Amino acid sequence: MKPVGIYIHVPFCRYKCPYCDFYSVTAKEDLLDSFTNETVRRITALACENITADTVYFGGGTPSLLGGRRMTAIMQALQSRVNISKNAEITVEANPASDLGEFLEGCASSGVNRLSLGMQSALKKELSAIGRRHTPGDVLNAMEKSHSVGIDNISLDLMLGIPMQTPDSLESSLHFIEQAAPSHVSAYMLKIEENTPFYRIKYALNIADEDGLADMYLQTFNRLEKAGYTQYEISNASKPGYESRHNLIYWSCDEYIGIGPAAHGFFNGKRYYFDRSLESYLSGIAPHDDGAGGSVEEYIMLRLRLSEGLTEEGMKERFGTDIPKALREKASSPLMVPYCTCDDSGICLTRKGMLISNAVICELIELL
C-alpha cells in the first residue's frame, strides 16, 4: 500500500485572530491534557495495520500550545501504532509570539523535523492590524531556536492583501524573508470569511482591491523566484527539494488520516470529517462519512493547483487513461491561453491562471 499522510488538528489558541475561520477554542491546561489523552486513545484504536506514513502534520489552531510533553506523548502513540518511515516529513505549526524553547526541544527529541511559523508580515503595524501579537524579532528568535535544536527545515507564512499593506510594505516583508532564508514560504491572500470579526467590518478595512491584490500576488512570487524559491503550488514556494510533502499529498489526491476536531481525512477510498466541536471529539464521537474520494474529476481539479499540473504520466498511472480530449481542447482554446499551458506532457496553469484558479479550473472541468 502506498504511504499515507497523517494530519492532527490541534484546536487551541491563546486568542482568536480577527480574520481566522479555522476551528479553535481558548487553551486551558485541563483541555490540553484531555485533548492529548483522547488523541492518544484514537491513535491507539486506529485500524491501520501495515500502514506506513511518510508525512505527519500538526496544524491548528496553535499546536505549539501543547508544549513538549504533550507533543511527545502524541508522537510516541503514532510511532507505536503506525510505521513512520525513516525519512518522514514531520511538521508542526507554531506561533512565534510564544516562548518556543521547551516545545521545540520536545519536538526535536520526538522526531519533528519541520517547523511552520505564522509570520504573516514583517511589519509591526500590519501585524497589529490583523491582531497578531508577535514582532519580526520574535520570528527570527523562533528560527534561531529551531536551528539550535536541529530543526532546520522552516516555513514562513505570509499574508497578502491585509489591512495597511502596500506594494512597498510587501517588498519589506519579502526582503525580510530573503534575509531570514527559510526553506519554504506559504503566501496566502486574505479572504474575509463569514462569522469572523473582520467580516463585520469588511467595508471599513483598508485593504487592496482585486487588481491591487492580483499585483501583490504576482509581485510576491516573482520576487521569491528571484530569491531562489520555486513556486510549486498556487500558494507555496520553496527552495529546491523543500516542497511540503504533506501539502503535495492533498494536491495529488492521495490518502491521509485526519484526527482532531474539524479535521478531514481520506482513507481506504473514503473521505470523512470530524465535528467542529472539541466537546464532541472528547466524547469519543466518530467522524462522519463524507463519501467516496479520488474520482477523475477530483484528481484533475486538485492536480491543477500544482505548478506541474495535470500530467499524462500521472493520469495513466492513476486511472490507466489519457487526459480527456475535451479537456485538452478547452485548455488549448484562445480564451484559455493566458491562463494555462497545454502540451504533450499535460496541462498546467500559468501564474496568471493561478490568480483566478477557481474560475479557470471550473471552466476546464465543466465538460467532464
Q: How would residue 367 be classed by pLDDT, with cut points 50, 70 and 90?
A: low
Averaged pLDDT for residues 323-342: 93
Q: What pLDDT is recorded for position 98?
A: 77
Q: How would residue 16 be classed by pLDDT, with cut points 50, 70 and 90?
A: confident
pLDDT of 91 over the 70 cut: yes
pLDDT single digits (tens) 160-179: 999 999 999 999 999 999 99
**Set of cell numbers at residue 340:** 494555462
Averaged pLDDT for residues 102-114: 95
Ramachandran region, residue 269 (left: φ > 0; alpha: ψ -120 to 50; beta: rest): left
CA distance 146 to 144: 5
| Span of 189-193, 238-242, 327-331 with lowest mean pLDDT | 189-193
Residue 167 DSSP code: H
CA distance 178 to 156: 11
Q: Among the residues of 88-184, which ranges form H helices?
A: 101-109, 124-129, 136-148, 167-180
Q: What pLDDT is recorded for position 154?
A: 98
Structural domains of the chain, with CATH: 4-251 (3.20.20.70), 296-365 (1.10.10.920)
pLDDT single digits (tens) 280-298: 999 999 999 999 999 999 9
CA distance 237 to 187: 8
pLDDT of 51 over the 90 cut: no
